[in-house]
Structure 1
Amino acid sequence: MPAIDMPLHELQAYTGINPKPSDFDDYWERALTEMRGVDPAIELVPSKFQTPTAECFDLYFTGVKGARVHAKYARPRRAPQPHPAVVQFHGYSGNAGEWADKLSIVSLGFSIFSLDCRGQGGYSEDTGGVVGNTLNGHIIRGLDGHPDNLLFRHIFLDCAQLAGIAIDSPEVDPERVYAMGGSQGGALTIACSALEPRIKKLAPVFPFLSDYRRVWEMDLAKDAYAELRTYFRHFDPQHEREDEIFTKLGYIDIQHLANRIQGEVMMAVGLMDTICPPSTQFAAYNKITAPKRLEIYPDFGHEGLPGFNDKTIQFFLNGNE
């Protein structure tokens, strides 16, 4: 079997090396308390894009730190109510995607809520207000200040808040709300389901934002993780603060959230992935205690994984076992 990482039997036992802050659980409980205290001021604006079978809206809500967050929301026109829903998350620097991409889900009688991550390629606001570097990269945004100002903290909360909006929508069956996404979207699927445990099923694909120190030790702080190297080169060139920096990144390391997931998990990994190394993905997967299964693609990297979209549809259609 080709390999760029550990042998498979070692991956199956690997539990990560990035430090977990000692107050990690208190940190996220404090964050969730802040999120729950926000008036979301939900607004639905009919989209110019409509079809005979799908009713489409631009959905706006207020997230933490006062940001107006945008998502695309499409629902079936003639589905029985309540009906299932999917919350969808996009890759790093991208956006919620085109309406046409949502129609296969809507055709099955599901609603779909697709987030624009704040400050990335869509319409969600990044309200800023951090100390230090903002030149490049969301992983390191806020790293020089209080950990409550880490940008991915806010993005993780946006994901949980959108999932809560979906679950509480009158047309949605709260017992059949699912989450999916790849790369950054896979990470956000895990974070969302950890912070909003009412998500019943989740299908993350090669999740990002896991086990940062392992990425560093593999010399793969490039491509999607390049900002880690940029930060050290500019702000800690002799790595005098290396332990401090990786520990702070531990607050937004999805492997440390994974054990909070209560929904059923179907995750996909390519063992030739040099963007999000397989060991970093296994670090998160191996900490999930909910029912789970892993779909392994030995010869594939960070790319389309044949058949997994079909598996995801079947996984969601099969209801809650």
Structure 2
Amino acid sequence: MNQLLKKISWMTLLIPVISVILGLLCGAIIMWATGYDPLLAYSSIVQSIFLQPYYAGETIRAMIPLVLSGLAVAFAFRTGLFNIGVEGQLMAGWFASVACAIGFDSLPKFILLPLSILAGAVAGGLWGLIPGFLKARFKVHEVISTIMMNYISLYTTSYLIKTFLFTQGERTPTIPPAASLASNFLANLTQGSRLHWGFIVAILAVIAMWFILWRTTMGFELRSVGFSQDASQYAGMNVSRNIILSMTISGIFAGLAGAMEGLGTYQYMMINATFTGIGFNGIAVALLGLNTPIGVVLSGALFAGLQTGGLTMQSVAGVPIELIQIIIALIIFFVGSGYVVQWAWGRFMGRRHKA
């Protein structure tokens, strides 16, 4: 029995690794078939990230919202819920943080910056609370309600910007320096990248998810509800409260991702004609990271590296940047096809032992 559990555990860890390798291999085949040099393309990505400070800084910067979005999805999944509304919660947090920074621009930095970050977290949490309440009170499936909440957030934030914070270029005014996460030190260190202090927030969020789920009584209840609502209710746990709490905390992580974009990367919020894509990418990050804090960090680093390195792949090897999205989609496909990957690996190892 112990050997079986150990085998399953190793296979669970191997599936994401194999999926990444297969995704990159398929991407290389596509490049070769369309007349591009895959070795040159992939080597340009590696060299830019590890040898060029600017792209290294941009990779870490891109990781910040991806990791936070991944944590939002992973936290909900660990408690038995599927939060598809990270995109909407992110935009709610983005708007709230920027609006707070602009509305209270006279406050000193040591008050305004944490207040603006908190505003983003609270807005994301409230946006996650609504589908959590609908699930707990009326049994509305969270996948449906969170998808609808994405569209409500998209058009509500655009309306609020147009009505109250509109400026030229269809965006809000730039936030005051007192609310900015940008750093001249980090910019100089990475030769002008947009890396900002938000990476500290992401690190703290990773620690917070681990601590809440695996080191607190509340986390034990949340995970228990995720395993079995009926058994948890029989054990005396308040299932409805835990569902609402889980979606709220998940929304807080997503709201922080939006705040990092508003206070760090962009310093403003634009009127969105479409979704940012960060929240949806967070689903892929959580899936590849096996819904674990350290896994989310590693998969966020991979996705950010591919997205940032794709720019040098285009300039050095001439490969269209859209191919990066194809490679990411292939990786997600192979992760989603984990049973097939596991079956193929088992057949391969079986034949190897026979030989």
More strand by share: 1
Highest CA radius of gyration, 1 or 2?
A: 2
More helix by share: 2
Structure 1 length as normaliser, TM-score? Answer: 0.28
